[in-house]
Amino acid sequence: MTQNLLSIKDLNVTFTGSRVVQALHGVNLELAAGQTLGLLGESGSGKSVTLRTLLRLNPPRSSRVEGSIQVAGEDVLALQGRALARYRGATVSMVFQESGLAFDPVYTIGQQMVEMIRAHDGVDKAAATARALQMLERVQIPQARRRMDAYAHELSGGMRQRAMIALALCCSPKLLLADEPTTALDATVQIQILLLLRELQRELGMAVIFVTHDIGAAVEISDRLAVMYAGRIVEQGSVADVLASPFHPYTRGLMASTISAGMRGKPLAAIAGSPPDLAHLPAGCAFAARCQHASAVCLAQVPSLSAQGPHQAACWHPQTGPGVTREAALALP
C-alpha cells in the first residue's frame, strides 16, 4: 500500500473578529507522493483557506485551527520557529494566485530566489545564483539570465507566473500548492502554464494540490478531484469516476454550468441562488436551498462523506446518471 504524503483529518478552521466565521468544516483529504489533486469549487468555498492552513499562513490571533495535518510524517500544526520556516519552502511550497503581489516589488526576481535557496540550503551565493538560473531555464523563461535582474513589474503576466513557479520549486518541495495559478492569464498562456506544471510534477515526482474553479483545467492536470462547498468536501474520487458519474447535485451543477463548444445560442444552465453566508450556515446541508432534490432531512441534518459507488459524496439523495467524458472536459475553455 502506498503511504500518503499528505493526510488531513477532521480539519476545522474558524476566523474570529467582528464576527465568527467557520471557513472549514471537518475536511478530510489524503494525497500520495507524485499525485495531483484538483480542488474545485466556487469562490468562498474554502479552497484557498485549505492551502493557507497547510502552510500555517492564517493569522494566529484571529484564527482557530482544529484537527490534524500530517505532511511527510511531520505534525504540521505542532511546528514552531525554525522547524516551521524549514517546512515552508523545503517540504511544502506555494504558487500564489496573484504572482504580481507574491513577489516583493523592491527586489529583483533573482535576489528573491537566491535568498530563498540560501536560507533553506545554506549554500553560498554563487551556488544559489546558479540554481536560481537553472530553475528559470527549467520553467522555460526566455533570456533567463536577463530576467534574474528584472523586477516583477517588468515581466509579462505569463513570465511572472513562470517565475513564481520557479521560486516555489527552488528547494525541491515534496508538495506544491497551486492556488488558481492561471487566473487572469489569456487562454494560450493558461494552457502553457498547465502543461508546464504537469511536466514539472512528473519530472520532479512531487505531489500537487491544484485549486481552480475551471473543470477543464483541473482535468488537464489532476489524478483525483475533490469538490468543496461552504467549507466542506462534498465529493471526491478519481478524475475518471467523478466525471463519468458525479453524485452530488453541486458537482453536476458545476459541470452543467460550464461553457463548452456548440453552446452558441443556448441558455447556460447556471446553479440557482448564491452560496450561503459562512457566519450563518443552515442546520442541514449547506446546498439544500439551491438544490431541486432537497427534502426535509436535507434541511435538518448535514450529510457525511460516504462511499457512493467508486468514489465518495456527501449527499442524502445522490444523483445517478452520466456526467461528462474526459475528452469533453478537456475541450472546455
Residue-wise pLDDT tens digits, 22-61: 999 999 999 999 999 999 998 889 999 999 999 999 998 9
pTM of this prediction? 0.89
Confidence label for 133 from pLDDT (cuts 50, 70 and 90): very high
Predicted local distance difference test score (pLDDT) of residue 322: 53
Confidence label for 333 from pLDDT (cuts 50, 70 and 90): very low
Among 54-68, 125-139, 141-155, 177-191, which is the least confidently predicted range? 177-191
What percentage of the chain carries pLDDT values higher than 70?
Answer: 93
Averaged pLDDT, 297-308: 92
Predicted local distance difference test score (pLDDT) of residue 98: 78
CA distances from 32 to 3, 52, 188 (A): 6, 20, 30
pLDDT of 290 above 70: yes
Q: Please state the three-class secondary structure of the chain as a single string.
A: CCCEEEEEEEEEEEECCCCCEEEEEEEEEEEECCCEEEEECCCCCCHHHHHHHHCCCCCCCCEEEEEEEEECCEEHHHCCHHHHHHHHHHHEEEECCCHHHHCCCCCCHHHHHHHHHHHHHCCCHHHHHHHHHHHHHHCCCCCHHHHCCCCHHHCCHHHHHHHHHHHHHCCCCCEEEEECCCCCCCHHHHHHHHHHHHHHHHHHCCEEEEEECCHHHHHHHCCEEEEEECCEEEEEEEHHHHHHCCCCHHHHHHHHCCCCCCCCCCCCCCCCCCCCCHHHCCCCCCCHHHCCCCCHHHHHCCCCCEEECCEEECCCCCCCCCCCCHHHHHCCC
- Domain regions of the chain by residue span: 246-333
Averaged pLDDT, 197-208: 89
Predicted local distance difference test score (pLDDT) of residue 263: 65
Confidence label for 157 from pLDDT (cuts 50, 70 and 90): confident
Predicted local distance difference test score (pLDDT) of residue 278: 92
pLDDT of 280 above 70: yes
Q: Phi first, then psi: what are they for 325, rounded to 5°?
A: -80, 160
Predicted local distance difference test score (pLDDT) of residue 1: 45
Angle at 204 between CA 203 and CA 209, to 5 degrees: 105
pLDDT in tens, 233-271: 999 999 989 988 899 999 988 888 776 666 677 777 788
| Position 140, amino acid | Q
pLDDT in tens, 310-324: 899 999 998 765 555
Residue recorded with cell 450561503 = 276
What's the whole-number average pLDDT of the chain? 88
Confidence label for 2 from pLDDT (cuts 50, 70 and 90): low
Q: Are 210 and 222 in contact (CB under 8 A)?
A: yes
CA separation for the pair 206, 170 (Å, rounded):
13
CA distances from 314 to 40, 43, 54 (A): 15, 20, 23
Predicted local distance difference test score (pLDDT) of residue 297: 94
